[in-house]
Amino acid sequence: MLWFADFYVVLLSPCELDTTMKMILQVPMWAQRVIYIQGSALKDTDLTRARMNAAEACFILAARNYIDRSAADEHTILRSWAVRDFAPNVPQYIQIFRPENKIHVAFAEHVVCEDEFKYALLANNCLCPGTSTLVTLLLHTSRGHVCGYQHFQRAGGRNVDLFESLYFVVVTFATVGYGDYKPDRWPSQLFMVIMICVALIVLPTQFEQLAYTWMEKQKLGGSYR
């Protein structure tokens, strides 16, 4: 049985569901576990409908339809205060934009500040070079081919897959050594073990592919660069 099989997720939002979200909630895995309620966290009646006082946790996400991020944080703080007044024993997990606004939600179980996360990710490049690039590539994926492979090759490019790329593996492990990373905690140690296993699996296949490509180019009279 899945670990989340005993939990129900209640989405409380003042806006109506868009078409994409409706299709996602129709998936059998989520259809019986996710409940959508249109309302506001600033109203006790809507919090009662969502059974906030019986919730295991409350996740308050920052609104991204605001041009001014300070105004978005103000709205998030108001919703957090309203939930705290209605259900003071429910732990809150809050997302905000500005680090200076964390003091207003210090009572929360955990506060995720987007700006702090970005700055911390950039700072971690000093300890682990390439961290920000790796995380950015993992979070931002392509939704399709921008152009065909033939057009890309005519432009002088090569078809390269991130996790099958010799360049990615060699550069990553050449710049991020076991001693440089200092894995003093089990998540760091697990990360390094996984990365080493990936390297041991990927590198032999890449060398074999490079050797095969080099031999093919030699047969054609070309030179491998």
* pLDDT at residue number 160: 47
CA–CA distance from 85 to each of 42, 187, 213 (Å)? 10, 36, 67
Q: pTM of this prediction?
A: 0.56
Alpha helices for the chain (secondary structure H): 19-25, 28-31, 44-49, 69-86, 114-123, 131-139, 149-154, 166-175, 178-181, 186-219
CB burial readout 1-37, b (16+ within 10 A) else e: eeeeeeeeeeebeeeeeeeeeeeeeeeeeeeeeeeee
Which is nearest to 35 in space by CA: 44, 94, 46?
46
What was the pLDDT predicted at 30?
78
Measured at the CA of 141, the angle between CA 165 and CA 149, to 5 degrees, comes to 60
Tell me how far apart the alpha carbons of residues 6 and 12 are, in angstroms, rounded to a whole number: 20
CA distances from 72 to 22, 66, 76, 78 (A): 25, 6, 6, 10
Looking at the DSSP assignment, which residues form a beta bridge with residue 93?
59, 110
Q: What is the pLDDT of residue 225?
A: 45
DSSP state string for 184-200: -SHHHHHHHHHHHHHHH
Cβ contacts of 178 within 8 Å, gap of 6 or more: 192
pLDDT by position in tens, the chain (length 225): 455 557 788 888 888 888 888 888 888 877 888 888 888 889 899 999 989 988 888 999 888 888 888 888 899 999 999 999 999 999 999 989 888 888 898 888 888 888 888 888 888 888 878 777 777 777 665 555 555 545 544 444 445 444 444 444 444 444 444 444 444 555 555 665 666 666 555 555 555 565 666 666 666 664 444
How many helices, marked H, and strands, marked E, lie in the chain? 10, 5
CA 52 – CA 85 distance, rounded (Å): 11
Report d(CA 105, CA 107) in Å as an integer: 5
Predicted confidence at residue 5, as pLDDT, reads 58
Q: How far apart are CA 186 and CA 192, in angstroms?
A: 10
Q: What is the pLDDT of residue 8?
A: 84
Tokens, residue 97: 């934009």
Q: What integer pLDDT is reported at residue 171 of this predicted model?
A: 42
pLDDT score of 163: 43
